Amino acid sequence: MKLIPSLIAAATLACGFAASAQEADIRKALAERIPQMDKIDEVRPTAMKGLYEVRIGTDLFYTDAKGDYVIQGELIDTKVRRNLTEDRITKLTAINFAALPFKDAITIVRGDGKRKVAVFEDPNCGYCKRFERDLQNVDNVTVYLFLYPILSPDSAEKSRNIWCSKDPVTAWQDQMVRDKAAPAASCDTGALQRNLALGRKHKITGTPTLIFANGARVPGAIGAKDVEKRLAEAGAGTEPTATN
């Protein structure tokens, strides 16, 4: 009977070597045939037999066992109606919420403030204005607003005026909810530059972009009901899920 564990261990080791060799073959073939794929971060089998995921950063491709064919698209599990590609990208782009530099954000507390969300926004963003107006219906939340001036030449100026105002929270709400621009102000705007660097690091290319306490990233304006749902998932410790 002692032989069985040994056989299982040997079989597992053999499978590991086979998988490693398979990955090496795929890497070699793709690097030789497609120069842009010479720096692959990860190769792993997918739920579909014979199909492998090739990851370069957060970009996903699919290939056969020999690297003879490459597919760029979405892998759908029709049995459970799940977009496996989207699920995977959601996990890859998740952000460590606790590691965010909250000192560089405007902190807005509503109610008891127990639930938390971070948002990257540009004062010139129309979708952000729609989001902010809908967000007024969400209570008992702390919003960490990272000013992220990327859309227009005067986004930096408006962000500076808001950040440097005597009451940044009111200045932000005036700008986004009441269409009242903040008066000119000046101060150290190093936080805004750090926000831009942080956004580039995490490939945040649009506003608003929301980050919840469980690391889930949601690009684009979502309604109050969706925000509530995401806050509940984060509070329950649920892993990031794809946006529906």
The model carries a pTM of 0.75
Q: In angstroms, rounded to a whole number, what is the distance separating the alpha carbons of residues 168 and 145?
A: 10
CA distance 137 to 106: 19
Q: Which residues of the chain have pLDDT under 70?
A: 1-19, 237-244
Sign of CA dihedral 13, 16, 22, 25: negative
Query: Which DSSP letter does residue 99 get?
Result: G
pLDDT at 6: 52
pLDDT in tens, 39-70: 999 999 999 999 999 999 889 999 999 999 99
Give the per-residue pLDDT at 235: 85
What's the confidence (pLDDT) of residue 93? 82
Say if CB 128 and CB 121 are below 8 A apart.
yes
